[in-house]
Structure 1
Amino acid sequence: MKSWTLVAYLSLHSSFYPDLNAVSLIALGNVPLPKQIRYLCARYKNRRFELIFGNDLLAPLIDIKIALALKQQWVTFTLVKDQVAISCNQGTRQFSLDRLSLSAFQKAFGLRTSVRTRKSKRHTYFLNELLESHSIDGLSGDR
């Protein structure tokens, strides 16, 4: 996750967070390291986490990886044609790439991570949604 994603998201949805002093925004990049996740778990015990990634192919994989890591569980992914096999402590399941989400993963494995995901409904990234909402011509082209 890039920091501009967080800024764009918060600009669009600041009404969700009436007390901005109670919000921490943390950019982890596209492939968070276990050490980063351990730090978050230690620093933000008993806090609610929301994952804000794009709507691209990697986003659900990152959502799943981070949600499990926050619970001190680890996961591996294997791409098999148009399917992804996901393995964790509870076994292995296959998902079609177009149907994969954190919610689908949790249902298939019977898990609850208590992690929420936020996705732009109209664009791949919140930045594109923000640019469109401010009518900046020529800069919001990912429909």
Structure 2
Amino acid sequence: MNPLLTRLGVPPEVQDFFHLGDDLVFRYGDSAEHFGEGFHRLPATENLWLAGPETASHVVVSFSAMEAIALVTLHRHHYPRLQQTAFVAIGSRLHDGQASWIRQHFPKRKFTLVFGKDLLGHLTAIKMAAGIRNVPVRMFHTGHQVAIYNDERELITSDERLSLHAFQEAFGLRPRFRTACARLALTFLDQLQTSRT
């Protein structure tokens, strides 16, 4: 059991599932995510952090391992059988190869994308969904508008109206991806930290 996570309210069964010990270091192959009292460092890497079985029926993709842990802690009732869920973290920025790897290793799974409720989070969720479905897209941001298109379809919308749902409607993606966003903060980790201090 990690004392910092225990103070933050992360239940023992969640700490056990993620194999959390004294050091909160999460390996992404060539680099690592570090979390501690007053700091959180994410790597910019083409590799991934993984937890849970590769045979899982549900896959949660986020920027960081700590975001996944915070999500499960705050919404434990949505994950009654953690053993049927896989968690993937991409680090500080999405690389095209990451979505391809996820597509190849988790075919025909249910996905929840957890990237924050700001513009960067929405764009990352859209890019990840497109990558997993192997739909090439180009994105542009000018002023307060976002344009997403490929040779067949396009979506032009304001920053405020941009969402994964709007993208999936415009591009006809099925089955649909879900997103999860913190209600009281930008991210679940922010919400977990502010609710326990």
TM-score of Structure 1 vs Structure 2, range by shorter chain: 0.7 to 0.9
Q: What amino acid does structure 2 have at the position aligned with 1:26?
A: V
* Runs of at least 4 residues off by over 4 Å: none
2:105 to 43, 63, 67: 43
Relative to structure 2, which stretch is displaced further, 38-47 or 53-62? 38-47
Per the alignment, do residues 68 and 113 of structure 1 end up closer, same or farther by CA in structure 2, a change over 3 Å counting? farther
Other-structure match for 2:52: none
Give the alignment's TM-score, normalised by structure 2: 0.63
Q: Deviations along 1:89-136, whole A, 9 cap, x unmatched?
A: 4333311001100111222334335211000112101112212332x1
User: Unmatched 5+ residue regions in structure 1?
Assistant: 137-143
CA apart distance, 1:16:
0.7
1:23 to 63, 85, 107: 85
Contact conserved, 2:138 with 2:150, CA < 8 A, in 1?
yes
Fraction of identical pairs, as percent: 33
Q: What amino acid does structure 1 have at the position aligned with 2:123?
A: L
1:118 aligns with 2:180: yes
Aligned-residue CA RMSD in angstroms?
1.6
Counterpart Cα distance in 1 of 2:184 and 2:84: 28
Written as runs of structure 1 = structure 2, the 5 A alignment for 1:1-143 is 1-134=63-196, 136=197
Q: Secondary structure at the match of 1:112?
A: coil
User: Unmatched 5+ residue regions in structure 2?
Assistant: 1-62
Counterpart Cα distance in 2 of 1:59 and 1:110: 21
Higher strand share: 2
Q: Across the two proteins, how many residue pairs are aligned to each other?
A: 135
